[in-house]
Every structure is written in C-alpha cells, then in structure tokens.
C-alpha cells in the first residue's frame, strides 16, 4: 500500500466572489484576516475606502489602526483576504507613507534633498525631471530651511516636512500617514496639518490617516473610520463634509462640534463594550 503520512488536508471551501465597492471607491478590502500569536486582530474584515478623500482611522488602544494601514500599504503581511486599489494590486499602485518616527524614516547618510529625491531616482527619472519635481515640492511646501543639510541637522518638524515631501515626490495615488504629528510640537503640528490640507486640495490624493487626537482626526477628514476593540470591526463610518480649506473658525462650527461629539460617543461606547 502506498500511503502518505501527514499529507496536508485542503478544505474544500469555495472562496466568496469578490464584490466591488460602490462608485467612488478607491481601496477595496475583502475578507481581510490577520492573527497575531494565535489571536485574531481582524477576521473577515471588509471595507471600502473612497477615492480622493481623507479618511481618519480612530479607535480603542491596540485595536489595530496602525496594523490596518500597514497591511493596506503592504508593510505587514495579511493572513487571508484581498486588497485592491481601483481594482489593481498594490504592486501596480504608487503609494507614499509617512511614519510617526521621522528620525528613523530618513536615511541619515543622505542629504535631505537626496532623501526627498530618492523615490524619483528609484523610478528612473532623469536629472532634469528630478530637479523640476524638487522645485515644485519646495515651492508648495514653502521650504525655508537648507535642504542640503543632513536630516540630523534639522529640527523634528523640518525632518517630518522632508518625510512628507519624500512621500509625495512621486505623486502617489494613496498617502498613508501613521500619527504624523504625534512627535511634533504644536507649532509644527499646525504647519504640517495645513500643508497636508493644501496638498490634498491641490492633488486630491487619497489619504489614510491614523491619529490619536480626535480633534485633528475630524478636522482633516472627509470620513472618520471608527473601529471596535479586537477582533476589530467597523464600528461606524462618519461623514464630515465642511468645506475646505478648514481653518481655526471651523473648530467652532456646529457641524464640526457635532462630528467630534458623535465620534467621541462611538469611541466611548466601543471602549466600554
Ligand atoms: N508584530 C506584532 N506581533 C505581535 N502582536 C502585534 C504585532 N504588531 C501588532 N501587534 C498587536 O496587534 C494589536 C494592534 O496593534 P496596532 O499597533 O495596530 O494597534 P493600534 O490601534 O495602532 O494601537 P495604538 O492605539 O496603541 O497606537 C496590538 O494588540 C499589538 O500588540
């Protein structure tokens, strides 16, 4: 008899058919499953992320906000599921990523200007193209510091500005931001927040922002994605539609106050559950 011992057993479970999101969807997540150390963080998680909108991700501590954007950005592998960008795979999609820890994000051995230009060189752009794009970025970020300096010679805010410029250099379709302000002082936070809003208004780049600051999350967002505790589900998606540019005055508008209050109520409900 010719038997195979311990042969793998494949369950004959048919895969559900992929259902596209509604019109205007950019990123479609279907059946996303992720376990850490045998415990589910996400199980069969579905989400549609709209195109040309800013989506703020908010939820209880440890619910998987960073892991979610890292899985979408391909930095953390998924166990199961499918993530498509306008129907395409990640490998066919240009993305940019801004890390919380800007000190470790920039290459210390490269001048700041070379850090920012790096993605353009990787794409094979020639010197004239790189110079043109760099000029645009410098103008749009109103850069006042010397980009020929090394990152360690710059302030934290200047380094984070450079990280964002690098993330935008090759005109990504999606920009991921994981708590981009949390290591910055108040003045730099306001500056970079306004710059992001300006870039968004100019380019309409889809942005996914993880923030621990509810006011900031609502202020920048078109949608606030509120998550539950793990195993993580969508608690609610709130739409916040005040016109841009949003300013200091926005913060006292009834619509802003109502969106913030509603987000906080959902957050508290989920934390207590
Ligand atoms: N590489 C890993 N190995 C094991 N567990 C992990 C790993 N990365 C994340 N986790 C766990 O997964 C959960 C979600 O982590 P994640 O950092 O995504 O949450 P978060 O919502 O962004 O957290 P916070 O609110 O603290 O910023 C946490 O319980 C975390 O401990």
Q: Residue 7: its pLDDT value, please?
A: 45
Q: Which of 172, 205, 231 is the endpoint of a domain?
A: 172
Q: Is the pLDDT of residue 136 over 80?
A: yes
193-219 confidence digits (pLDDT tens)? 999 999 999 999 999 999 999 999 999
Element at 139 (helix H, strand E): helix 127-140
Range of the domain at 113: 102-172
Query: Ligand 1 atom 9: the closest Cα is on which residue?
Result: 67
Same domain, 196 and 88: yes
Range scoring the smallest mean pLDDT among 103-107, 193-197, 226-230: 103-107
- Split at pLDDT 50, 70, 90, the class of 12 is low
Same domain, 26 and 154: no
Q: Is the pLDDT of residue 272 over 50?
A: yes
The number of folded domains in the chain is 2
Is 200 a member of any domain? yes
Q: Which of 133, 148, 172 is the endpoint of a domain?
A: 172
Q: How far is CA 189 from CA 28, 156, 157, 242, in A?
A: 31, 11, 8, 21
- Split at pLDDT 50, 70, 90, the class of 254 is very high
Is 4 a member of any domain? no
Q: Residue 8: its pLDDT value, please?
A: 44
Q: How far is the CA of 36 from the centre of ligand 1 (A)?
A: 9
- Split at pLDDT 50, 70, 90, the class of 47 is very high
Which one of 32, 34, 41 would you pick to mutate in the ligand 1 pocket, going by the greatest count of ligand atoms within 8 A of its CB? 41
Q: Residue 19: its pLDDT value, please?
A: 86
- Which residues contact ligand 1 via a Cβ below 6 A? 36-37, 41, 61-67
Cite the beta strand spans of 140-222 per DSSP E.
174-178, 206-210
Is 54 a member of any domain? yes
Average pLDDT, integer, range 59-68: 97
Same domain, 195 and 270: yes
Same domain, 182 and 269: yes
Q: Which of 143, 172, 201 is the endpoint of a domain?
A: 172
Ligand 1 atom with minimal separation from the 70 CA? 18
Same domain, 166 and 182: no
């Amino acid at each position: 008899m010719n038997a195979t011992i311990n042969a793998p057993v494949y369950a004959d479970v048919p895969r559900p058919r992929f259902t596209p999101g509604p019109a205007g969807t950019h990123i479609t997540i279907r059946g996303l499953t992720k376990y850490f150390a045998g415990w589910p963080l996400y199980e069969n998680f579905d989400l549609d992320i709209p195109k040309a909108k800013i989506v703020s991700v908010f939820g209880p501590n440890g619910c998987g906000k960073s892991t979610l954007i890292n899985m979408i950005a391909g930095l953390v592998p998924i166990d199961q599921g499918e993530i498509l960008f306008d129907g395409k795979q990640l490998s066919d999609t240009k993305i940019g990523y801004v890390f919380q820890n800007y000190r470790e994000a920039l290459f210390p051995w490269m001048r700041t200007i070379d850090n920012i230009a790096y993605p353009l060189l990787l794409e094979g752009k020639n010197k004239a193209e790189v110079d043109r794009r760099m000029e645009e970025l410098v103008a749009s970020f109103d850069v006042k510091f010397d980009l020929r300096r090394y990152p360690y010679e710059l302030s934290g805010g200047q380094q984070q500005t450079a990280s964002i410029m690098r993330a935008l250099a090759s005109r990504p379709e999606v920009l991921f931001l994981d708590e981009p302000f949390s290591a910055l002082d108040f003045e730099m936070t306001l500056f970079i927040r306004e710059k992001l809003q300006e870039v968004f208004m100019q380019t309409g780049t889809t942005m996914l922002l993880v923030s621990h600051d509810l006011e900031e999350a609502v202020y920048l967002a078109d949608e606030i994605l509120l998550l539950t505790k793990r195993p993580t589900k969508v608690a609610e998606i709130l739409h916040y539609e005040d016109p841009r540019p949003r300013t200091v005055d926005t913060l006292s508008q009834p619509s802003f106050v109502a969106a913030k209050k509603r987000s906080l109520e959902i957050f508290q409900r989920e934390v207590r559950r």
